[in-house]
């Protein structure tokens, strides 16, 4: 271990390596319910070259590596189950480029959702990226690694679908690039070569450490609105969602059900968020959405809920303050991320299974 400690210090400097038990304890768990598992060391690299040297060293000494972003995934994926080194990416936090014409950005792997959001708001207010409802300290790379989703997913798919290129350090320490950045200076697309990004997406950091990535950006509309559609039958939800999405107007749709307050109990709500460059366009899009479900609305089996402006404002906040509040265990909340990725026609089945699990626990 002393050989490992000495060589890690030579790579990143004394201040960015820790073997201290109290610090390793903090890295042994996340906010989810999985049992703790502490690493032998934590290291915080600043450059791709440092990550490559760490990987070469770990490969030589046969020590496991666990990359970590915000450590907020909630299913314990950043625990060091076989010991080894946690590679905490938070110091690699540079926003390298924003390309407004081709609408993409290139960021280092430690850049957080909150940092990119604040940067775009300040320097490119006409652009936005798709944010999950995770706390702003979650990283863009960590979320893409687990096929995360967010506020533009109805429009553009999983966050891994919005990827335009990657720089990755392999377990051998070699550095590779995927996407257009592997053959040109631009990071605008996964094409033109065979797309190897799938070797690192959904693998939870086990096949390589992403050091830099490109993601798509989207227009940040001046005018925004949210509609809330309500029905009483879970079986109707797939049809409603399918009709609403057929307009290709909604940026985000969030189905929600709550046992309290009493008036909301037993109802299925769908928040439908959309935006526009002008008021006229916003009204046009609102009409399109309302028309798309008229067939169901006319039967009175479902309908749009009038919501006061204050509540509307709250629904449009990104990330959602309500979800974070709900997840705050210290205030009596609780949250276990189950990553339900499923076809929409299984909505009722998933809902009933969720209720069964919630009542059991």
Ligand X SMILES: Cc1cc2nc3c(=O)[nH]c(=O)nc-3n(C[C@H](O)[C@H](O)[C@H](O)COP(=O)(O)OP(=O)(O)OC[C@H]3O[C@@H](n4cnc5c(N)ncnc54)[C@H](O)[C@@H]3O)c2cc1C
Q: List interacting residues with ligand X (CB under 6 A).
A: 66-74, 77-78, 89, 109, 132-135, 138-139, 141-143, 145-146, 148-150, 204-205, 209-210, 323-324, 327, 335, 337
Q: Between residues 255 and 303, which has the closer beta carbon with respect to ligand X?
A: 255
User: Three-state SS across the chain?
Assistant: CHHHHHHHHHHHCHHHEECCHHHHHHCCCCCCCCCCCCCCEEECCCCHHHHHHHHHHHHHHCCCEEEECCCCCCCCCCCCECECEEEEHHHCCCEEEEECCCCEEEEECCCEHHHHHHHHHHHCCCEECCCCCCCCCCEHHHHHHCCCCCCCHHHHCCHHHHEEEEEEECCCCCEEEEEHHHCCCCCCCCCCCCCCHHHCCCCCCCCCEEEEEEEECEECCCEEEEEEEEECCHHHHHHHHHHHHCCCCCCEEEEECCCCCHHHCCCEEEEEEEEECCHHHHHHHHHHHHHHCHHHHCCCCEEECCCCHHHHHHHCCCCCHHHHHHHCHHHCCCCCCCCCCCCHHHHHHHHHHHHHHHHHC
Q: Between residues 18 and 78, which has the closer beta carbon with respect to ligand X?
A: 78
Contact between 91 and 16 under an 8 Å Cβ cutoff? The reply is yes
Minimum Å gap between C-beta 113 and ligand X is 7
Q: Between residues 115 and 239, which has the closer beta carbon with respect to ligand X?
A: 115
Q: Between residues 73 and 85, which has the closer beta carbon with respect to ligand X?
A: 73
Minimum Å gap between C-beta 307 and ligand X is 21
Q: What are the structure tokens assigned to 310, written together?
A: 């204050």
Minimum Å gap between C-beta 297 and ligand X is 28
Minimum Å gap between C-beta 160 and ligand X is 10
Q: Between residues 204 and 247, which has the closer beta carbon with respect to ligand X?
A: 204
Minimum Å gap between C-beta 280 and ligand X is 31
Whose CB is nearest to ligand X? 142
Minimum Å gap between C-beta 34 and ligand X is 12
Minimum Å gap between C-beta 168 and ligand X is 7
Q: What are the structure tokens assigned to 154, written together?
A: 């109805």
Classify residue 43 as exposed, middle or buried by CB count within 10 Å of its CB (0-12, 13-18, 19+).
buried
Minimum Å gap between C-beta 131 and ligand X is 8
Q: Between residues 149 and 178, which has the closer beta carbon with respect to ligand X?
A: 149
Q: How far apart are CA 75 and CA 89, in angstroms?
A: 19
Minimum Å gap between C-beta 306 and ligand X is 27
Q: Between residues 273 and 276, which has the closer beta carbon with respect to ligand X?
A: 273
Q: Between residues 139 and 292, which has the closer beta carbon with respect to ligand X?
A: 139
Q: Between residues 74 and 162, which has the closer beta carbon with respect to ligand X?
A: 74
């Amino acid at each position: 271990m002393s050989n490992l400690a000495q060589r890690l210090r030579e790579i990143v400097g004394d201040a960015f390596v820790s073997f201290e038990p109290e610090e390793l304890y903090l890295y042994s768990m996340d906010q989810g319910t999985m049992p703790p598992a502490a690493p032998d060391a934590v290291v915080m690299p600043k450059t791709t070259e440092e990550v490559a040297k760490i990987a070469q060293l770990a490969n030589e000494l046969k020590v496991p590596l666990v990359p970590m972003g915000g450590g907020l995934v909630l299913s314990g994926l950043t625990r060091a189950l076989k010991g080894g080194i946690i590679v905490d990416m938070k110091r690699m936090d540079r926003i390298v480029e924003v390309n407004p014409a081709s609408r993409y950005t290139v960021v280092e792997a430690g850049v957080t959702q909150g940092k990119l959001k604040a940067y775009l708001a300040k320097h490119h207010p006409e652009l936005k990226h798709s944010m999950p409802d995770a706390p702003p300290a979650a990283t863009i790379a960590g979320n893409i690694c687990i096929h995360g989703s967010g506020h533009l997913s109805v429009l553009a798919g999983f966050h891994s679908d919005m990827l335009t290129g990657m720089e990755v350090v392999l377990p051998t320490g070699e550095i590779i690039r995927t996407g257009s950045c592997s053959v040109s200076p631009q990071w605008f697309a996964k094409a033109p070569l065979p797309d190897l990004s799938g070797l690192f997406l959904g693998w939870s950091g086990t096949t390589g450490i992403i050091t830099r990535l490109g993601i798509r950006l989207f227009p940040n509309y001046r005018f925004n609105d949210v509609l809330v559609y309500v029905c009483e039958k879970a079986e109707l939800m797939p049809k409603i969602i399918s009709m609403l999405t057929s307009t290709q107007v909604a940026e985000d749709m969030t189905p929600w059900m709550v046992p309290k307050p009493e008036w909301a109990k037993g109802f299925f709500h769908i928040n439908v968020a959309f935006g526009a460059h002008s008021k006229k366009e916003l009204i046009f899009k609102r009409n399109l959405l309302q028309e798309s479900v008229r067939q169901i609305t006319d039967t009175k089996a479902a309908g749009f809920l009038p919501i006061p402006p204050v509540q509307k404002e709250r629904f449009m906040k990104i990330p959602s303050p309500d979800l974070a509040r709900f997840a705050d265990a210290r205030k009596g909340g609780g949250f276990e991320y189950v990553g339900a990725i499923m076809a929409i026609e299984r909505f009722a089945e998933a809902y009933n299974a969720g209720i069964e699990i919630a009542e059991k626990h």
